[in-house]
């Protein structure tokens, strides 16, 4: 009986602390994604949306974020996921921090599509950031969904970033 009360208590605690999510829909590229209510959406271009975590104070140098980038591949020859992945991974390895032990690339299924996932670190404006990125090719577009964080904050924000990334759906 104590186990049941403990389970119900934990369940009620989780419900009381659930994050309210908002939905962003893109009618041009026909997708939607959910993001936490306290995060700020920032439309960089018609092909890029960024969801910024709240700033944690005046000394917070980097706001963890999830972004969606749609890359038009129509100027290229038809490009497969394998071709796009090889090109992307080669570029990442040229720019990435020399910590090759921290680099991981693997095939995944993302938004119902055969996809590639990469986890790596990059230097950005004097900081090192950790990146988790999923991408897939559909038609002549590459869909690239990315979580970026300071390495010390990566695991703290990763569960929420995973929730946001996994909410990505093609319409």
Residue 97: domain span: 20-170
In a domain, 1, yes or no: no
CA distances from 46 to 9, 17, 27, 166 (A): 45, 34, 11, 22
Q: What confidence tens digit (pLDDT) does each residue in 23-82 have?
A: 999 999 999 999 999 999 999 887 899 999 999 888 888 999 999 999 999 987 789 999
**Which residues make beta-bridge pairs with 135?**
116, 144
Q: What confidence tens digit (pLDDT) does each residue in 2-12 have?
A: 443 334 333 33
**CATH number of the domain residue 46 falls in:** 3.40.1000.10
In a domain, 28, yes or no: yes
Domain count, the chain: 1
Q: What is the pTM of this model?
A: 0.86
In a domain, 136, yes or no: yes
Separation of alpha carbons 83 and 112, rounded Å: 19
Q: Which two tokens stand for residue 87?
A: 């090109």
In a domain, 8, yes or no: no
């Amino acid at each position: 009986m104590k186990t049941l009360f403990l389970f119900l208590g934990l369940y009620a605690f989780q419900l009381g602390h659930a994050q309210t999510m908002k939905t962003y829909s893109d009618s041009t590229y026909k997708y939607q994604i959910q993001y936490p209510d306290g995060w700020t959406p920032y439309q960089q271009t018609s092909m890029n949306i960024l969801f910024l975590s709240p700033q944690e104070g005046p000394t917070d140098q980097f706001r963890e974020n999830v972004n969606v980038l749609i890359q038009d591949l129509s100027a290229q020859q038809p490009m497969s996921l394998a071709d796009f992945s090889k090109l992307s991974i080669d570029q990442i390895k040229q720019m990435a921090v020399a910590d090759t032990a921290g680099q991981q690339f693997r095939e995944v299924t993302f938004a119902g599509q055969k996809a590639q996932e990469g986890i790596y670190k990059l230097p950005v404006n004097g900081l090192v950031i950790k990146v988790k990125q999923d991408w897939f090719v559909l038609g002549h577009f590459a869909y690239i969904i990315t979580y970026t964080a300071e390495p010390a904050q990566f695991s703290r924000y990763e569960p929420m970033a995973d929730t946001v990334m996994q909410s990505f759906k093609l319409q």
